[in-house]
Structure 1
């Protein structure tokens, strides 16, 4: 089973994915962003655009997820913003056509909520470090409202642990209870954020 966690940049996808991995036995996170960053590193900086526009990214992500879904017995979790309908069909649609069970979730929130989250993860640089995410925010929020991007989850007032529980239950997966206190929850959040800091 594939759990594709969509949403705007700064919408909580990665935090939710790792919360699911922690509480779903046998699950694995396969982050499509890694394919994109690999393609960027192969490309001179002046030629780098949105890596999702590269056929190699879309085909590569679909191929890798297909392999993992066929060979790995537990749930596969893919946190990735994907709002282009055609690209969505090339990746998610084809995986479904290939017979895989795919559950898609779009994490949505008010614009102000997402901007606050982006500021918090800006490591003291505010929104300056998140210029790409801010530039794409309105487009993401608008497109993800569409029915093709259901199931929608409003996360403004929903903690990450509760979002993960909602996703697991919607997909029919038994999820371990969340027993973290406030301090441990914060430490986990910082640890995930640190592991996903991107340089160049």
Structure 2
């Protein structure tokens, strides 16, 4: 089983993915961004752009997830913003066409909620380093609202644990109980953010 967690940049995909992973025995997280950043690093700076536009990225993601899902006896969790309907059909549709069960979830929120989350991520609060993500909020939310990107989960008033619970229920998965209090939950989210900061 593949669980694709989609959403705008700063929408909580990574936090939800690792909360699921923490509470779902036998699961793994497979992040397609790693392949994209690797492909960009292979090219001269002047040629680097949105790695999703590279056919090699889309083909590679599909092939790696096919291998991971067939070779791993447990759910494969994929946190990745993917809002181009053609690219979505290429990757997610291709995986489904190959016989994989892909549960897709789009984490939705009001733009002000996404802005607040972007403001608070990283070592220092602020949006200076998030200009690219901020500029994509409206486009991402508009595209993801299409029925093609269902299942939609409104996350404005949900904690990360509640988002994970919602995904698990929809996918028919049983999570271990969440026993984190507010302080531990905050520290866990912060630690996840720090582990996934990039210098790219």
- Does residue 29 of structure 1 match 2:29? yes
The 1:48–1:117 alpha-carbon spacing in structure 2 relative to 1, beyond 3 Å, is same
**Which SS does the other structure have where 2:89 is aligned?**
helix
Give the aligned CA root-mean-square deviation in angstroms: 0.8
Match of 1:103 in 2: 103
Count of matched residue pairs = 200
Using the size of structure 1 for normalisation, the TM-score is 0.98
- Shift of residue 124, structure 1, vs aligned partner: 2.2
Which is worse superposed, 121-130 or 74-83? 121-130
Alpha-carbon distance in 1 for matches of 2:36, 2:112? 28
Using the size of structure 2 for normalisation, the TM-score is 0.98
Q: Which runs of 4+ in 1 moved over 4 A?
A: none
- Shift of residue 75, structure 1, vs aligned partner: 0.4
- Shift of residue 131, structure 1, vs aligned partner: 1.1
Which is worse superposed, 35-44 or 159-168? 35-44
Alpha-carbon distance in 1 for matches of 2:158, 2:175? 17
1:1-200 alignment to 2 at 5 Å?
A: 1-124=1-124, 126-200=126-200
Q: Could you tell me which runs of 5 or more consecutive residues in structure 2 were left unpaired when the two chains were aligned.
A: none
- Shift of residue 104, structure 1, vs aligned partner: 0.2
Q: Deviations over 1:61-94 (max 9, x none)?
A: 0000000000001000000000000000110000
Alpha-carbon distance in 2 for matches of 1:198, 1:153? 27
Alpha-carbon distance in 1 for matches of 2:125, 2:194? 15
Is contact 1:7–1:106 with CA below 8 Å preserved after alignment? yes
Q: Could you tell me which runs of 5 or more consecutive residues in structure 1 were left unpaired when the two chains were aligned.
A: none
Is contact 2:106–2:153 with CA below 8 Å preserved after alignment? yes
